[in-house]
A = this chain, B = another copy of it.
């Protein structure tokens, strides 16, 4: 389905009962009496229709792609096929890290509809980060999800013919890849039409756009993103793609799924924690909570390393570093693991920096900054993110460990380079 079928029609709160009321996988959750179904449109993302549909006996999420970018309108068309890619991503993530993503009840490719589990009373992680509320087990869930999905979607684990089929399947997602390639990796580095930034940042923005090293290194990261089809990525793994309660963590919205470098998902997530840290003066600015955020970043990486290493030692069934060569050489296997983790670390820092820069200079910003009404304060918070981001992109190959990066964040938080 490259284009839109003539039978495609967007759902409305009023038509949902009539259109989905015959599907047994849905009536099994909501009952067959559609007159008591209650549908609410809650899509606060940039792209799709999202409905919560409740009945006295249950509730589901109904997500439908629109043939354009919702945030912008039909002047920016976007293929419905992204629902197909999201469906295939969710199926694979569920198999690779069971329980981490919503269960799928129904998928309709032609209508670009996914009906899935409603996580309640979960909220988007960003809201917690603005409210200064901690989440038990957050870092463990995130680190495990990253390690399991990135390892198990790669040639370290998969049958390589299955991996190659998946590369072919997901590489067809040209338009969504283009959004990332453009908005994340290119627009921030020149005066692109869709860019916007807080006025007080004019000086630092001009400096960054004239920064040769930054431009070159950011584009090396883009080349990795575009060409290094290492594993199936979530592709948009920021604090808006994570839903939490006080002690439960779930992952959603992998429609930007692609085969790409492991460090992309890890780095985007870490970058979002560092931005949330710098945004704290615009919210509670609680010293303990700020340290908690840095601790989550550190713990995500620590858990990722631990779980990735565990899978490396116990599930390395793919064509890379395979047993035939490495079984008799446990030291060689450990040496290779160390090198791979070092490469993922370096990539992750680079992608984290790229994410921090694009979230301040390009089209899509983060709520943690946008919600700061005091423009001068917002600019100061954002500038600190830009400072760290620039350092990470340019010096990613020479950052020792997480303690060093978090320390750099603390030093930067003390001042401003406006």
Per the bound structure, the CA–CA distance linking A324 and B194 in Å amounts to: 14
Can you list 10 A-B contacts (CB < 8 A)? Answer: A155-B227, A164-B171, A167-B171, A212-B335, A216-B332, A216-B339, A222-B320, A226-B319, A228-B229, A229-B229
**A219→B168 contact, CB < 8 A:** no
Nearest Cβ on chain B to A50's Cβ, whole angstroms: 28
Please give 11 more A-B residue pairs, beta carbons under 8 A apart, in addition to A160-B174, A212-B335, A226-B320. Answer: A154-B227, A164-B172, A164-B177, A167-B171, A168-B171, A212-B329, A215-B329, A216-B335, A219-B320, A223-B230, A227-B229
Cβ-defined contact, B223 with A155, below 8 A: yes
Chain B residues, CB < 8 A from A174: 160-161, 164
A164 contact set on B, CB distance < 8 A: 171-172, 174, 177
- Whether, in the assembled complex, A325 has its beta carbon less than 8 Å from a beta carbon of chain B, the answer is yes
Interface size of A by CB at 8 A reads 44
Q: Does A14 contact B (CB under 8 A)?
A: no
The DSSP consensus for interface residues of chain A is helix
Q: Which of A154, A181, A226, A230 has the most CB of B within 10 A?
A: A226
Residue of B nearest to A167 (CB): B171
Interface membership of A306, Cβ < 8 A:
no
Within 8 A of B (CB), among A86-113: none
B contact residues around A309 at 8 Å (CB) = none
Which residues of B sit under 8 angstroms from A212, Cβ to Cβ? 329, 331-332, 335
Chain B min CB distance to A136 (Å): 36
B227 contacts A186, CB within 8 Å?
Answer: no
Q: Distance in Å from the Cβ of A261 to the closest Cβ of chain B?
A: 9
The closest CB in chain B to the CB of A156 belongs to: B223
The answer to whether A178 touches B192 (Cβ under 8 A) is no
Please, which residue of chain B has its CB at the minimum distance from the CB of A168?
Answer: B168
In the complex, which residues of chain B have a beta carbon less than 8 angstroms from the beta carbon of A160? 174, 177-178, 181, 226
| A 307-329 contacts with B by CB, 8 A | 319-322, 324-326, 328-329
